[in-house]
A and B are shown apart, each in its own frame.
Chain A
């Protein structure tokens, strides 16, 4: 066991052969921040730092003037602001930090930093390996690095110099590399804009582009095809020229993907870890097998482990490690896809049977339908009258908790909290108009004064903005310990009108505060 701490969070890790020495021991490259740390024999071996980006000349000039004492921090700020707005090369981190400072802190910041030259640094987002000149399993490999500045670099494994630079339209997030650097290679890069680009030897710009309908969350190459897992719970297959082959819908969101290759049995498939604690194995669009896991799997690796050729290693979200070994007798056959209508179509619904009583009643209906209809219509007109009467009465006395006036469409509901003798009354008042505010409102209460005391029996309500619920709170105290309660009436009034806009009746709960001693 050996432990080396990193300065920053790692963004990628690969193992590769960097020389031809015997015995063949691979090196480990860890990408972190702007650097790649190479470890050999579990010891730090080399550190590669990305080259700085081009710095804005205007910006450089401004800082030079500061260093020479020609301008003060405030002028510096103004000049940097104008540079930021006009220039096509972005400002350095230092200038951006400076611009965000309070004027008091600017002086110190300038004094501290003005002597150092300005640099612009980017960070690594993903890392991969590419065989240098032979396709052997233990051939020397180059590192391929994707950066936040939308570049892809290929590094020489021995000298750690940049062999090739390619640029992308968006920052890369995942990559897959195949081929040999000296012969022909393909780098498939998934980018943050939701597109996948395919880079080839001797072309600085991507050759093909795949535009996805959803963000890619996994990228695996199977033979000559690319399988992409998307955020919309789908798995999609593409040719190496970016032509879409198929789509499979998955039962749950994807957490991780890996390829599974068994050359001895001619199997090339994709392992997909899902958020429903399942790992599924797909050959093209057909599901070959699925494993249930006790927890959600966060990463998968299939390959040789010790003497075992077919080993599946998974880590789980809560930090567990699962190692599965492939059965030698395992067979990978497509599950027959059922054709025709789905099963659910032929399931009978459990509809209760019509009873004999029902049949009898329909007979009655058939015989005396006209009379029933007449009776119903007569009752209906009576009921309409009764309802309209009650409704008018409720409107006239503003009994409803919502107002029907077009000018002040208000709504209120009251909530009582507390065990007593003190209660909290909250009135939720809302203006339900589409866009017009309501002003000049007040709330007043009507209650039995021998039973309740109210801190504020009259309150003004602020201007009501449409659609927002305004809680108006007040406190009530019950002065009786005899276990009796009453109704408190709440009225919302408008200035200049004696009739309330709306009212609510609150059935107060019995005060219990005094009875539990």
Chain B
């Protein structure tokens, strides 16, 4: 294919009215930085998890005893 030299050059007017067409498109939700957890919160969650596990184990043990 022969190379076609472009005869159109872009024009950026300094004066006058600027028009543009704005087509609405759907938007994505934005990327989410994950917040770091404070020490207190981490300790709380850890304690809670451990306690949950312990309670569950205890309940199981109680059941086995009852049987």
Give chain A's interface residues, CB within 8 Å of chain B.
340-342, 345, 450, 480, 482-485
Contacts and interface: CB of A to CB of B under 8 A. Distances in A.
Interface string B18-36: 1000000000000000000
21 contacts: A340-B16, A340-B17, A341-B15, A341-B16, A341-B17, A341-B18, A342-B17, A345-B17, A345-B18, A450-B59, A450-B60, A450-B63, A480-B55, A480-B59, A482-B55, A482-B59, A483-B55, A484-B52, A484-B55, A484-B56, A485-B52
Contacts of A450: 59-60, 63
Interface in B21-67: 52, 55-56, 59-60, 63
Contacts of B63: 450
Nearest to B56: A484
A507 B29 CA distance: 24
A482 B15 CA distance: 74
Nearest to A480: B59
A455 B47 CA distance: 32
A345 B18 CA distance: 7
B6 to A, nearest CB: 28
A41 to B, nearest CB: 63
A142 B35 CA distance: 79
A149 to B, nearest CB: 46
Interface of B is mostly: helix
A340 B63 CA distance: 85
Nearest to B16: A341
Given A340-B17, A341-B15, A482-B55, 15 more contacts: A340-B16, A341-B16, A341-B17, A341-B18, A345-B18, A450-B59, A450-B60, A450-B63, A480-B55, A480-B59, A482-B59, A484-B52, A484-B55, A484-B56, A485-B52
Nearest to B58: A482
Please provide the 5 A-B residue pairs with the shortest distance between their CB atoms, ordered closest to farther. A341-B17, A482-B55, A484-B52, A484-B55, A345-B18
A4 B56 CA distance: 82
A143 B56 CA distance: 90
B43 to A, nearest CB: 17
B52 to A, nearest CB: 5
A154 B55 CA distance: 93
Nearest to B13: A341
A484 B18 CA distance: 63
Contacts of B56: 484
Contacts of A482: 55, 59
Q: Counting chain B CB atoms within 10 Å of each CB, which of A450, A482, A483, A485 scores highest? A: A482
A262 to B, nearest CB: 38
B19 to A, nearest CB: 10
Nearest to A342: B17
A440 B30 CA distance: 39
Contacts of A345: 17-18
B46 to A, nearest CB: 15
A480 B52 CA distance: 12
Contacts of B18: 341, 345
A186 B52 CA distance: 88
A105 B12 CA distance: 80
B67 to A, nearest CB: 12
A245 B15 CA distance: 31
Nearest to B60: A450
Contacts of B17: 340-342, 345
A341 B55 CA distance: 73
Contacts of A480: 55, 59
Contacts of A485: 52
A342 B18 CA distance: 9
A342 B55 CA distance: 70
A484 B49 CA distance: 9
Nearest to A482: B55
Contacts of A484: 52, 55-56
A507 to B, nearest CB: 12
A392 B52 CA distance: 32
Contacts of A341: 15-18
A482 B60 CA distance: 13
A343 to B, nearest CB: 12
Contacts of B15: 341
Nearest to B53: A484
A341 B63 CA distance: 82
A483 B58 CA distance: 13
A493 B40 CA distance: 43
Contacts of A342: 17
Contacts of B16: 340-341
Contacts of B60: 450
A345 B55 CA distance: 66
Nearest to B48: A483
Contacts of B52: 484-485
A484 B15 CA distance: 70
B30 to A, nearest CB: 17
A345 B15 CA distance: 10
